[in-house]
Structure 1
């Protein structure tokens, strides 16, 4: 049986140096358990609040 283990806002492609996260294509990184655990990217944009509150895929500050 397919079960969602976690679902987190994630970018479709890593940002370019200096690129603002508002310019990125966002979706959901979904971790399923079905046989062997697997991940899938779902092209459904999270809300801006969900993006701000995410735990992973942070953009590192640019060195000054």
Structure 2
């Protein structure tokens, strides 16, 4: 039986340097357990709050 292990806001493509993360194309990265674990990207935009509170898929500042 297919079950969701996790569901996180995730960008469709990594941002360009200096790009505002809220202007990216967002969706959900869903991790399923069905036999071998698998992932699926669902193109349904999370709310801005869900994007800002995400745990993964972070933009790390470049060292200067």
Please tell me the TM-score bracket, short chain as reference.
over 0.9
Q: How many residues align?
A: 64
The structure with the largest strand share of the pair is 1
Aligned to 1:13: 13
RMSD (Å) for aligned C-alpha atoms:
1.0
Q: What TM-score do the two structures reach when normalised by structure 2?
A: 0.93
Unpaired segments ≥5 residues, structure 2: none
Unpaired segments ≥5 residues, structure 1: none
Residues 1:30 and 2:13 aligned together: no
Q: What stretches of structure 1 move > 6 A for 4+ residues in a row?
A: none
- Cα displacement (A) at 1:63: 4.0
